[in-house]
Amino acid sequence: AQSVSQHNHHVILSEAASLELGCNYSYGGTVNLFWYVQYPGQHLQLLLKYFSGDPLVKGIKGFEAEFIKSKFSFNLRKPSVQWSDTAEYFCAVTYTGGFKTIFGAGTRLFVKA
Amino acid sequence: DGGITQSPKYLFRKEGQNVTLSCEQNLNHDAMYWYRQDPGQGLRLIYYSQIVNDFQKGDIAEGYSVSREKKESFPLTVTSAQKNPTAFYLCASSTDRPGMNTEAFFGQGTRLTVV
């Protein structure tokens, strides 16, 4: 079955620390990949997306993600986190030929001021 | 402004009652979805619909029903058969046209509590 795995359920960092959240998806052909973020009390919003082209994708608020096809991975990174990055982050995939978006279980990030 | 509207924001239901959650979008998207969000389990797909008058079960459809009579609307009914209905419910929509951006747009959610 098609699935998405996020490696960490909870991450705690201090401000200015670097962040990397892991995401792997199951093989299913060509994919579209997404990271969504849900800030406390707010609705889900798109952080960044990959459709084709440069496998290093830059999103909002200094986030980036790298698509590594051979590893079926799409890890999210940020060089220096801020307290305001405290949120839950979801990796998601859509397989070409299908259209439903499959989500990972989410990673709760808490950044200490 | 274009977007997805879910109502109500909070909903309380007595055990044994059916309740319907509303979802409306004005993004002209063909595809609509219902997800359930529980702590530590991410978003699990309940039902999805690719076109009007057609819908498919997702991973956790038991105890739920949907309809898609209009492109803009995709209401979800939580029936008394759903054994653990207390959760946060998210509606989403996207285009499903090949080669186009399949990014999903989300509503603000409905928090359902069974009392």
pLDDT tens by residue, B58-70: 889 999 999 999 9
Cβ distance A90 to B98 less than 8 Å, yes or no, reads no
Residue A99 confidence class, pLDDT cut points 50, 70, 90: low
How close A34 comes to chain B (CA, Å)?
8
How close B108 comes to chain A (CA, Å)?
5
- State the alpha helices, DSSP H only, in A1-113: none
Residue from A4, A101, A108 whose CB has the most chain B CBs within 10 Å, to mutate: A101
In chain A, what residues touch B96 (CB-CB under 8 Å)? 99
* Percent of chain B topping pLDDT 90: 64
Kindly list the distances between the CA atom of residue B78 and the CA atoms of A12, B4, B21, B114, in Å, as whole numbers in the listed order.
36, 20, 8, 11
Q: Considering CB atoms only, which of A44, A49, A51 is closest to B106? A: A44
For B3-21, write each residue's pLDDT tens digit: 999 999 999 999 889 999 9
Please give the pLDDT value at position A61.
93
How close A15 comes to chain B (CA, Å)?
24
For A10-60, write each residue's pLDDT tens digit: 999 999 999 999 999 987 778 889 999 999 888 888 999 998 899 999 999
Residues B32, B91: contact at Cβ < 8 Å?
yes
Q: Which residue of B has its CA nearest to A8?
A: B40
Cβ distance B40 to A106 less than 8 Å, yes or no, reads yes
Of B13, B25, B17, B39, give the one whose Cα is nearest residue B93: B25
Residues A31, A93: contact at Cβ < 8 Å?
yes
Least confident of A1-10, B10-19, B69-78, B90-99: B90-99
Q: CB contact, 8 Å: A99 with chain B?
A: yes
Please give the pLDDT value at position A12.
97
